[in-house]
């Protein structure tokens, strides 16, 4: 017997900025989101809770539920507010591949400022106005590309995924070690790890990866 799918959580943008009941508000939704972002920037996403944000605003945790129904709402708002920092967008004119690379670099800078963003991305999230504006701009950049719209959406999503992987790698620990493992059982891997390595070519790995993904999905139109 299959379980029923979980009900879709209503988007925070489909609801009023605050509940209609209760006394006049002492804070705005924007102030709540700003406090949560400051907390995540300083102490990581794990530090962000409704109670902690309420304490930072010198109010009770229960009062925040007049603006939000859950922490998930807060995370959606935080992600969308951060997406607004991608503005002003790079120009959509000229070579589309160069333009998408500029956008990807802007995304990487954003993830460096807000390390917690890479933790939010994998979770189911509602798209807000800033996120939609970003997708709209990317589609404008890709307008000259003779590919299906669904393929363009896939390319935008894959590019974002690549950027997030690079952002994660920058804060990751040292490379994995193989201490205590007999690599003789893995001859191809052992050969690759022990073969003499030529001096690495001077290249921008981020640029090469982004361009490779986009060319692979959208062809060589660029």
Q: CA Rg, the chain, in Å?
A: 22
Same domain as 87, residue 75: no
Q: What is the domain count for the chain?
A: 2
Residues 95 and 215 sit within 8 Å (Cβ to Cβ) = no
Band of residue 222 on the pLDDT scale cut at 50, 70, 90: very low
97-136 pLDDT, tens digit each? 999 999 999 999 999 999 999 998 877 777 899 999 999 9
Same domain as 96, residue 128: yes
How many Cβ atoms sit within 10 Å of the Cβ of residue 132?
Answer: 13
Among candidate residues 112, 113, 34, the one with its CA nearest the CA of residue 67: 34
Residue 98 φ/ψ, nearest 5 degrees:
-65, -40
Pick from 51, 81, 111: which residue ends a domain? 81
Residue 5 lies in a domain: no
Residue 158 lies in a domain: yes
Same domain as 133, residue 67: no
155-213 pLDDT, tens digit each? 999 999 999 999 998 887 677 777 888 888 899 988 888 888 766 665 689 999 999 99
CA–CA separation, 101 vs 118, rounded Å? 19
53-79 pLDDT, tens digit each? 999 999 988 889 888 989 999 999 999
Same domain as 77, residue 150: no
Among candidate residues 112, 108, 102, 16, the one with its CA nearest the CA of residue 67: 16
CATH number of the domain at 49, please.
1.10.10.60
Residue 194 lies in a domain: no
Q: What is the pLDDT of residue 214?
A: 97
Q: State which residues form the domain around 69.
A: 12-81
Residue 222 in tokens: 């660029």
Indicate the range of 7-16, 88-97, 150-159 predicted with least confidence: 7-16
Among candidate residues 56, 19, 18, 16, the one with its CA nearest the CA of residue 36: 56
Average pLDDT over residues 136-159: 96
Residue 103 lies in a domain: yes
Residues 126 and 78 sit within 8 Å (Cβ to Cβ) = no
């Amino acid at each position: 017997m299959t379980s029923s799918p979980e009900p879709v959580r209503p988007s925070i943008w489909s609801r009023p900025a605050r509940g209609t009941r209760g006394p006049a508000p002492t804070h705005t939704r924007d102030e709540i989101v700003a406090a949560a972002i400051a907390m995540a920037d300083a102490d990581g996403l794990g530090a962000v809770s409704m109670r902690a944000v309420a304490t930072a605003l010198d109010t009770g945790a229960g009062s925040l539920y007049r603006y939000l129904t859950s922490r998930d709402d807060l995370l959606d708002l935080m992600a969308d507010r951060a997406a607004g920092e991608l503005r002003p967008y790079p120009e959509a004119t000229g070579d589309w591949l160069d333009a998408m690379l500029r956008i990807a670099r802007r995304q990487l800078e954003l993830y460096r400022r807000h390390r917690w963003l890479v933790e939010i991305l994998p979770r189911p999230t509602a798209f807000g106005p800033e996120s939609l504006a970003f997708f709209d701009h990317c589609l404008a950049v890709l307008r000259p590309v003779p590919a299906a719209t669904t393929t363009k959406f896939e390319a935008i999503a894959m590019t974002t995924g690549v950027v997030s992987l690079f952002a994660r790698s920058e804060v990751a620990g040292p490379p994995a070690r193989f201490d205590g493992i007999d690599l003789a059982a893995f001859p191809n891997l052992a050969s690759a790890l022990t073969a003499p390595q030529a001096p690495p070519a001077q290249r921008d790995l981020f640029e090469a990866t982004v361009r490779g993904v986009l060319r692979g999905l959208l062809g060589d139109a660029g």
